[in-house]
Structure 1
Amino acid sequence: MSNENSVIDAKAVTDNGGPAPGGWLLGTLGVLIFSFALPANAWAVEGFHPLAVTVWRALIPGLLAVPILWRMRAPVPGRGSWPHLVTAGLCVAVGFPLLSSIALTTIHPARAAVILGLLPALTAAFAAAFGRERPSARFWMISGAGLLVLLAYLTTRGGAGGLTLGGGDVAMFGATCCSAMAYVLGADRAKVLGAPQSMCWTLVALLPLSIPAGIVTVFVQEPAWSARSVTGMLYLAVASTLLGYFAWYAGLARGGIARVGQVQQIQPILTVCWSALFFADALDPLTFAAGAAVAGLVALGQREGRR
């Protein structure tokens, strides 16, 4: 892939225009990859300390990003891009994984999915506040309806744990805010640099911190090695932190952060399905009904965006 054909023309993405062709599909692919991140994180913290999960989740993809950028012959970003890239990196590779790992030591992945259901709304709000996007009032109403359906469903499931809040819930909410801010900043740079370059430079910018931190964790931690913990760690580092963001940033940049971001309302439903499959949770038919309702509202939101 060359640098020229990976950059998204910022003029093609307007504040009030609809998603460009492929934006919704790329966003859906990113959501599918992200949907297994919480179960994978739960696996990873079975054998690694949450701090070690955070460090290696940034270090491994950061080291992989170097040859990717070299192969692309990607130019070094301009001075104005680095504040966005560094802040997005701190949010996506430090804030979210650290806080979500802490949360998953005390709450179930399905309960974490309830809180993560706030992500599309927070992303749209941050895009309006910092990304200069102005979705219509009908768009906000449809998005809010999808969020209400999602939370109403998830909070009725036993695995979600009800509405009583604890330290793990607060940590997961902080992680969700970090992720939303990273989406806005990273997608903004993806319009200029290209989606792969935006994420790769974000991870490379953190290497001065992640390399020494990774060395320290090797000496201070005694991991409990297992197939599940290693699989979870590798999935978080390679699939969720690297490949998933290639698709996700491209989708947000092409179709608009607020609009394509609403596709993520489907992610908690998918996470609950993964939790049922890998954690032996009960999966009732209501899951499919709620998923269909949320998917329909997301489709209406996308149609409203195209208007």
Structure 2
Amino acid sequence: MDRQSAGWVSGFVGVVIFSGSLPATRLAVTGFDPVFLTLARASIAGLLGVALLAVFRQKRPARNDVLSLAIVSLGVVVGFPLLTAMALKHITSAHSVVFIGLLPLATAIFAVLRGGERPRLAFWLYSCLGSALVAGFAMTQGGSASLAGDLLMLAAIALCGLGYAEGAALSRKLGGWQVISWALVLSLPIMLPLALFTMPASWSTIGGGAWAGLIYVSLFSMLIGFIFWYRGLALGGIAAVGQLQLLQPFMGLVLAASLLGEAVSIPMLLTTVGVVACVVGAKKSATKPQPC
């Protein structure tokens, strides 16, 4: 298998893993506080990251890479997990995956800003249309939606896009799995003590579903998924492999319906399709990034 094909395969596995993140988070917040869940998943993954870096004897990143790693940590270790966990206290995971349709666009925007590219007008038209579709869908939900939940999801998408773009650029230098491992290790001295401090007073009331959700988001969403994802970006190119994120809303809707029994409405599905179409158009209209 050539380098580019290996990147596509690795990136696809990463997207499949990430597709289960929101349904798993929805399960986890039925038993755990969103703040503790964020701290616990980062701490568990961080300890595993320490072990990986030690086993493979990885050199410490250069001093000028620490800021980039801090941005990755803020975006994908702290920001996205915390904000989505808080949002899923107000909205269903099926509702939240519509917002995931904006993630490729958010990643592209931060990549454009970071790379100093000048996208064509069509890029911004697709961007505005996609955002309008999501906002319109949220407003039509009435009592079944939550303004707080929707705003939290939008903030989560923005931070995640920043973390993806920064991590993808840094993976060219450090390697795919090393980026997420070092980002987790960087946050561990803060996350682990806080996780211990915010532990539930009693574990006996926490159901099996919440435990399963915690295990999934800690091992797969927080670490294993990123190993495949950043490796895919490094091997296959950010622009090409990044488009695989377009599959994530569909996979997430299927998981929400099949595992959690949540209703997936026709408007929700049509909105997701519309958002994905806008992201595809925006991707094609954007200035091509520098090759990896």
TM-score (norm 2): 0.82
TM-fit CA distance, 1:145: 11
CA drift of 1:215 comes to 1.5
Question: What corresponds to 1:269 in structure 2?
Answer: 250
Report Cα offsets for 1:41-76 as digits up to 9, x if no partner: 000000100000010110001001111111111111
Please say if 1:75 is aligned against 2:62: no
Match of 1:193 in 2: 174
Task: For 2:245 and 2:19, locate their aligned partners in 1 and report how far apart those are by CA, in whole Å.
Answer: 9
The whole-number CA distance in structure 1 between the counterparts of 2:94 and 2:190 is 32
- Equivalent position to 1:42, from 26, 31, 39: 26
Give the drift of 1:163. 10
1:179 corresponds to which of 156, 160, 174: 160
Residue 282 of structure 1: how far off its partner (Å):
4.3
After superposition, residues 28-177 of structure 1 pair within 5 angstroms as 28-130=12-114, 132=115, 134=117, 137=120, 140=123, 155=137, 166-177=147-158
Give, in angstroms, the shift of residue 110 of structure 1: 1.4
State the identity %.
35
User: Take 1:25 and 1:135, find their aligned partners in 2: how far apart are those partners?
Assistant: 30
Task: Please give the residue correspondences for 1:6-17 in structure 2 after superposition, counting only pairs within 5 Å.
Answer: none
SS at match of 1:59: helix
> Counterpart of 2:261 in 1: which secondary structure?
coil
In the alignment, what sits opposite 1:254? Answer: 235
Going from structure 1 to structure 2, the CA distance change for 1:147 and 1:26 (only over 3 Å counts) comes to farther
Q: In the alignment, which residue of structure 2 is the partner of 1:15?
A: none
CA distance in structure 2 between the partners assigned to 1:67 and 1:209 by the alignment: 18
Q: Work out the number of aligned pairs and report it.
A: 283
Q: Distance in 2 between matches of 1:31 and 1:118?
A: 14
Q: Which runs of 5+ in 2 are unaligned?
A: none
1:283 deviation in Å?
5.5
Aligned to 2:184: 203
TM-score normalised to structure 1 length: 0.78
Please state how far the C-alpha of 1:128 moved relative to its aligned partner. 0.6
Matched position secondary structure for 2:60? coil
The Cα offsets for residues 161-205 of structure 1, whole Å up to 9 and x where unpaired, read as 799760111111111111111101111221111111111111011
Residues 54, 97 of structure 1: 8 Å contact kept: yes
Q: 2-side partners of 1:247 and 1:100: how far apart?
A: 22
Q: Against the structure 1 CA distance between its residues 134 and 26, is the aligned structure 2 distance closer, same or farther, given a 3 Å change threshold? A: farther
Provide the rounded CA distance (Å) in 2 between the counterparts of 1:163 and 1:254: 42
Gapped regions of structure 1 (runs ≥ 5): 1-18
**Contact 1:23–1:252 under 8 Å retained in 2:** yes
Q: 1:183 to 1:163 in 2, by over 3 A?
A: farther
Distance 2:27 2:145 in 1: 25
The 3 A distance-change label for structure 1 pair 151 and 23 is: farther
Local SS of the residue matching 1:46: coil
In structure 2, relative to structure 1, the CA distance for the partners of 1:109 and 1:141 (3 Å cut) is same
CA RMSD of aligned residues (A): 3.6
Match of 1:226 among 199, 204, 207: 207
Does structure 1 residue 245 correspond to structure 2 residue 229?
no
Post-superposition CA distance 1:107-149 (Å, at most 9, x none) = 111111122211111100000101x17487599499769958x
